[in-house]
Every structure is written in C-alpha cells, then in structure tokens.
Amino acid sequence: MFTGIITDIGEVLEVERRGDLRARIGCDYDLDGIDLGASIACDGVCLTVVATGSVPRNWFAVEISAETVSKTNIGADGWPEGRRINLERALRVGDELGGHIVSGHVDGVAQVVEVRDEGDSTRVTLEAPAALARFIAPKGSVALNGTSLTVNEVAGARFGVNMIPHTKAVTTWGGVAEGDAVNLEIDTLARYVARLTEAA
C-alpha cells in the first residue's frame, strides 16, 4: 500500500525485454533500506524490486508484466530511457498517511487535455476512460502517476486537479503537457461505494 506522497523522482536508465520487460531505474534512495522483493510505486505502478546496484548511480530493477503494460502508460517497449518517473516506497506501519490509501494497481490511462497556469499553481484537466469516469467525484481523491490529488471539478469524463508549486517541484508534474498519458488509480472507497450502490 502507498499514500500517493512522492518521495523521489527516478530516472529510467535502461529497459530490456526478458520475456517480460525489465527496467533499471536510477534513484536517490539508500539501497541498504531496499530489500529484494520490496514494492516501489513507479509512476503509480506497484512494482517489485528484483535487483539493486550503485553504478553509475543508485538504482533498482523491476520486472513489468504484459498485464501491467496493458493497463498503464508504460507502453509495449517500456518507458523511454531518460524518462523521469515519480517514486514512492511502500507504506510502513506507523508512517504518516499524508495523502490517501493507494494500492499501486492502476485502473487505466487518462489523457491531459488542458494545462493552464493560475497564479503560481497549474490547473490540469484530464479525460478519464468512460468506464472509470463515474468513480471520480468533486473533492474526492485520485492518484495520477502515483501522486495523491484532490479533484476540483468533474464534467462528464473530464476532471480537473490543481498543482501547487510544491507538488510541481517534488514530482514530475512540473513538466506536464497537453496530450500526456497519465496512470489513473481511482479511490478505493469510491469503487466500493459504487459496488454497494449497484447491489442495493
């Protein structure tokens, strides 16, 4: 489980195909604290660490299945080398829950349709897949590329979020552009409320 509070920005150093995709991701984490088998959210995708190293910089490797590729913005050939991605270590008992409960199981890919500066902040409008739009509500939570964000408004399949300067500085959202494909995880509570409503 995760909180959607990004703790590092990683860099894709290498992607290769070994049956599944295998990616090596540069990071600033202390490798002594990362065990093989640990979970790290990479742009919101929960992936398992299968190797670590420190040359030319600290890095960890993950394997990415075809199922994960089909549900995310990773792409058939993997993230391009040099891409910056949001990272978060798994939640530990006793950690502060600063965002919302995030599973790291991406539901689908949303598209950025508008980016507009408002003062020092940036308003981003996205379009969700039709099947997921009903789970997104004003003032509810979503995880976008692993970042816990509050929904400002909803109009059909489109919804808006606001990026404050701090968020833009400590995540990859400072470089957001129209047309970007974004990993979307809907709020777990919204999913269960909808299921209960269907059953009623």
Q: 8-89 sits in which CATH class?
A: mainly beta
Which pLDDT score, from 0 to 100, does residue 195 have?
Answer: 64
Q: Domain 108-199 adopts which CATH fold?
A: Elongation Factor Tu (Ef-tu); domain 3 (2.40.30)
Q: Are 111 and 161 in contact (CB under 8 A)?
A: no
Pairing between β-strand 121-127 and β-strand 141-144 as defined by DSSP bridges: unpaired
Q: Is the pLDDT of residue 190 over 70?
A: yes
Instruction: Note the pLDDT of residue 153.
Output: 96
Query: What number of residues does the chain have?
Result: 200
pLDDT digits (tens, 9 = 90+) for 40-73: 999 999 999 999 999 989 999 999 999 999 999 9
Q: Which residues contact 147 (CB under 8 A, 6 or more apart)?
A: 4, 6, 44, 86, 167, 171, 173
Residue-range domain boundaries for the chain: 8-89, 108-199
The answer to whether domain 8-89 and domain 108-199 are alike in fold is yes
Express as a percent the part of the chain with pLDDT over 90: 86
What's the predicted TM-score (pTM) here? 0.93
pLDDT of 94 above 70: no
